[in-house]
Structure 1
Amino acid sequence: MKNHPEARAQDLKDAFYDTSIKGIICAIGGDDTYRTLPYLLDDKDFINAVQNNPKLFTGFSDTTINHLMFYKLGIGTFYGPNFVCDLAELDKQMLPYTKRAFLKYFEYHNEDCIESSNIWYEERTDFSIDAVGTSRVEHLEEKGYEVLQGKEKFSGRLLGGCLESFYDILTNTRYDNEKAICEKYGIFPTLNEWKNKILFLETCEEKPKPEKFEKELLTLKNAGIFDVISGIIVGKPQDEQYYEQYKEIYCKTIENKDLPIIYNVNFGHAQPKCIIPYGIETEVDLDKKVITLKESIFA
């Protein structure tokens, strides 16, 4: 797979060409999804298939690249469970909160709330066959949603992903050609596209140290999006690593005290996780600490 991004791109093409397939669940995230872009966005047949036969698409982490590609092509996707991390849970069943979220893919809701889980789980360190059937280490959620700054309510359509993926798109830190390829295909949304959006943002399993985290956040700041968005929804850091430090860095780096930020939301690399639907009109009530999707996730 490392040596053949064209084969990975073909898997996605085949899924869209097959009209019997209704949904696509990413296996996992990865770290070089950008290498599939030329094989996808230079293919008019693939673009036509996506736009004329849209499908449910779910995944997170480096899959941010796919989500932004589909956003560019005009279809909504879901920053949500993937196969290896969630459906292939080593315990006897999926984590209950994640399962309830996943089942929403099969239902229709005109309006829905994203509620805080009352339990959070540590990420596993043992993924061997010996771990099959064992439970995760769980903790009572003592904090719930935290308001870092802002008051009353803010609203907008959802757009975002993994902070490390954004950083890789905007720099050449991980791969020396990623920035150029993403710029060629216009993967990072323009400032006009970010205007009045709610940015959802979370950190990956690498658990970036505070110094690196601040550098990543500054890259987004320098891109100008904190000047145009309506607010930020921040995911729970995996294992609550650097939980308090990240809070301080958000407020210090963004500087704009009028920009609302709600923190510790269950999505992305946190366990358990909800689904965040791209492009859906959403309202966040900071006083009540409630996140409400104002239209069906399939709108």
Structure 2
Amino acid sequence: MATELIRPPRLVPGSRVAALSLSSGFVTEVMDRYHAGVRQVAQAFGWEVVPAPNALRGPEYLDAHPQARADDLHWALENPEIHGLVSIIGGDDSVRLLPFLRPDLIRAHPKVFLGYSDSTVTLLQFLRAGVMAYHGPALLTDLAESGGMHPFTVEALRRALVDEPQAYDLTPAPQWTQAPQDWNDAAAQAVRRPHQPGDGWVWLQGDAPVEGHLIGGCLEVLDMLNGTPGWPEPELWRGAVLALETSNDVPTPAQVGYWLRNYAAQGILGDLAGLMLARPRDYTPEMTQALYGWVRRVLKEAGREDLPVVANVDFGHTSPQLTLPLGGRARLVPPASAQPPGRVTVTP
């Protein structure tokens, strides 16, 4: 199925990338942070970030006008001077864009779209339209990271969006952080946040290597999307490697288990090739172990004790983060079939 997806053209120095407020218009409250992201993207990649027509109109206007947000997406797709699209920040209501979105424009003008969290809605509409999309940093988060973009983030973006497409191994981040930042503190923008040493990935189950196309996103947003016309068709789940992350809403381990039971009831878990779980946002070690217990429990209920599952992967609401090419191929090789600690290989 993944071979049927259109791969957008790669981004190069000089590419113009549209900054989109598809969710919250919060950016106008932290414009210094926005400019830091624009500057750091130019320094790292040579891309020119330009705001979409409605992107900087503020939270009140964008909340009242979801069609204006969808219009920005369509403007960026149809504008021949725009080569890529990046989400400025997430939120909790881009599901409201569904009645206004034009899948035909996504298909007719395939371009890189980058984002995570609430951008899950748009990422999956790209897949439904037959175009690969990229689960990775937003402009105000890792692209505007205090003290400069982390080299791990830069390398992940280069492999996914810039380099000639070829298979490569994902690797655990050498360090990570979920420390809060004050985006209104101009002095703090120059100071790198405290990081913890990398703690590696955790393989929960599975012995045999598997391969499938990547699909997924933020669990809370997927819950909002579930049952709407924007929910992916069954063939998009079939044979997939599902990548799931949780937000700073910090859903309980039990709630994650309940969502997974929904996927089991839909037949999604039964059709998967593999499962990747992100480092859970703001979890204690006890919560993390409870989460792993719930995942194993639900997979056993679904008769999928064979499913390879790798957890604590560096994507989503953690920093630095990987960029996952949704629709690209992912191969999971558990430790039982490879040299520890196992391997994850993707082809963007």
Shift of 1:190: 2.9
After TM superposition, what 4+ stretches of structure 1 lie above 4 angstroms from structure 2?
A: none
**Residue number in structure 1 paired with 2:151:** 96
Aligned partner letter, 2:327: G
**Residue number in structure 2 paired with 1:175:** none
Shift of 1:96: 1.8
Asked whether 1:168 is paired with 2:224, we answer yes
Total equivalences in the alignment: 275
**Residue number in structure 1 paired with 2:294:** 249
Asked whether 1:135 is paired with 2:192, we answer yes
C-alpha distance after superposition, 1:61-86 (max 9, x if no partner)? 11111011111111100011110111
**Residue number in structure 2 paired with 1:200:** 243
Asked whether 1:213 is paired with 2:268, we answer no
Asked whether 1:11 is paired with 2:72, we answer yes
Aligned partner letter, 1:95: H
Shift of 1:160: 1.0
- Tell whether the 8 Å contact from 1:167 to 1:219 is kept in structure 2 after alignment: no
Shift of 1:152: 2.9
- Tell whether the 8 Å contact from 1:19 to 1:53 is kept in structure 2 after alignment: no
Q: Is the partner of 2:126 in helix, strand or coil?
A: helix
Match of 2:135 among 69, 79, 86: 79
**C-alpha separation between the residues in 2 aligned to 1:233 and 1:63?**
18
C-alpha distance after superposition, 1:272-293 (max 9, x if no partner)? 1111111112211112411112
Shift of 1:239: 4.0
**Residue number in structure 2 paired with 1:282:** 330
**C-alpha separation between the residues in 1 aligned to 2:127 and 2:166?**
22
**C-alpha separation between the residues in 2 aligned to 1:125 and 1:216?**
30
C-alpha distance after superposition, 1:29-72 (max 9, x if no partner)? 2111111111113xxxxx44322221010000111110111111
Give TM-score scaled by structure 1 length: 0.87
**C-alpha separation between the residues in 1 aligned to 2:104 and 2:203?**
42
C-alpha distance after superposition, 1:172-230 (max 9, x if no partner)? xxxxxxx4xx2xx3x22233331111111111111112232222222222222111111
- Tell whether the 8 Å contact from 1:191 to 1:228 is kept in structure 2 after alignment: no
Asked whether 1:32 is paired with 2:75, we answer no
**C-alpha separation between the residues in 2 aligned to 1:194 and 1:210?**
23
Gaps of 5+ in 2: 1-61
Shift of 1:240: 4.5
**Residue number in structure 1 paired with 2:41:** none
Give TM-score scaled by structure 2 length: 0.75
Q: Is the partner of 2:98 in helix, strand or coil?
A: helix
C-alpha distance after superposition, 1:215-269 (max 9, x if no partner)? 2222222222111111101111124442222111110122121111111111111
Shift of 1:154: 1.1
**C-alpha separation between the residues in 2 aligned to 1:274 and 1:34?**
24
**Residue number in structure 2 paired with 1:223:** 266
Asked whether 1:232 is paired with 2:285, we answer no
**C-alpha separation between the residues in 1 aligned to 2:126 and 2:137?**
17
- Tell whether the 8 Å contact from 2:243 to 2:277 is kept in structure 1 after alignment: yes
**Residue number in structure 2 paired with 1:173:** none
Match of 2:310 among 247, 258, 262: 262
**C-alpha separation between the residues in 1 aligned to 2:283 and 2:210?**
26
C-alpha distance after superposition, 1:110-168 (max 9, x if no partner)? 211111112111231533315322221211123x1211011131111111111111112
**Residue number in structure 2 paired with 1:174:** none
> Following superposition of structure 1 onto structure 2, how do residues 143-182 of structure 1 map, counting pairs within 5 Å?
144-170=200-226, 179=227, 182=228
Tell me which of the two structures has the higher relative contact order, counting C-alpha pairs closer than 8 angstroms and 6 or more residues apart. Answer: 1
- Tell whether the 8 Å contact from 2:118 to 2:218 is kept in structure 1 after alignment: yes
**C-alpha separation between the residues in 2 aligned to 1:57 and 1:199?**
19
Q: Once the two structures are aligned, what percentage of the paired residues are identical?
A: 29
Aligned partner letter, 1:208: P
- Tell whether the 8 Å contact from 2:332 to 2:345 is kept in structure 1 after alignment: yes
